[in-house]
Chains A and B, each alone.
Chain A
Amino acid sequence: GAGVSQSPRYKVAKRGQDVALRCDPISGHVSLFWYQQALGQGPEFLTYFQNEAQLDKSGLPSDRFFAERPEGSVSTLKIQRTQQEDSAVYLCASIPPRRLAGGDTQYFGPGTRLTVL
């Protein structure tokens, strides 16, 4: 596709429910990032993949958050037993290979707005 896509765009969950958020990066982009953007704040890093390897998960706020990218393309961010503080926009970004022009720029998807009631 032309850009990074995310689904669903909007998700409402009851507290305690599990959710799964999907990211389709730009074709050929090997690096993929997840960020969490709380209302009125800047995005905050959650985790980073290079191909299928999760190289940095230091930003995941708790063990209820889990991300995977099993085939090195599509990624899923899973949140178990959602809490109200998980309400935020979850952004996905991908980067072209470093050898290409723009290989230091993250291209963002439109985000998934999660509301936990």
Chain B
Amino acid sequence: AQSVTQLGSHVSVSEGALVLLRCNYSSSVPPYLFWYVQYPNQGLQLLLKYTTGATLVKGINGFEAEFKKSETSFHLTKPSAHMSDAAEYFCAVRNLYGNKLVFGAGTILRVKS
């Protein structure tokens, strides 16, 4: 069975500081990996995804993530946090042959001015 672990349910950074949100997954087959962002009372918006090819993936709003197979990780980073980045972030995995997404529990990002 697939699973996703997001380390840290809450992360707080200062505006302009590095954002690092951690995601580790387990999957017995090659995974597709996703990061979604959820603003209050809104649905999930795709930030970026890894399917095949280049392991460093760039997404919207300056976010990027690197797929590291040896570490079974897909951590999300952004060099400089902006106040508008405050939201909840979800990492998800889908295997090559399946359809449903398996989500982590989410990380709430707080950005301090």
Seen from chain A, the residues whose Cβ lies within 8 Å of a Cβ on chain B are 4, 31, 33, 35, 40-45, 48, 55-56, 59, 91, 93, 95, 104-111
Contact = CB atoms under 8 A, between A and B. Distances in A.
B101 A56 contact: no
Contacts of A44: 103
7 nearest interchain CB pairs? Answer: A42-B103, A108-B43, A45-B100, A108-B44, A110-B43, A42-B105, A43-B103
A105 B90 contact: no
Interface string B17-42: 00000000000000010101000011
B99 A48 contact: yes
Interface residues of B, number: 23
Contacts of A105: 34, 46, 49
A103 to B, nearest CB: 10
B100 A91 contact: no
A110 B41 CA distance: 7
Interface of B: 4, 32, 34, 36, 41-46, 49, 51, 90, 92, 94, 99-106
Interface centre among B46, B49, B99 (most CB of A within 10 A): B99
A40 B36 CA distance: 15
Contacts of A42: 4, 90, 92, 103-106
Nearest to B101: A106
Given A4-B43, A42-B103, A106-B46, 7 more contacts: A40-B105, A44-B103, A59-B100, A91-B43, A93-B44, A108-B36, A110-B42
Contacts of B32: 104
Nearest to B36: A108
A33 B36 CA distance: 16
Contacts of B105: 40-42
A109 B103 contact: no
Contacts of A35: 101
A33 B70 CA distance: 31
A112 to B, nearest CB: 11
B43 A41 contact: no
Contact of A48 (B34, B92, B100, B104): B100
A13 B77 CA distance: 41
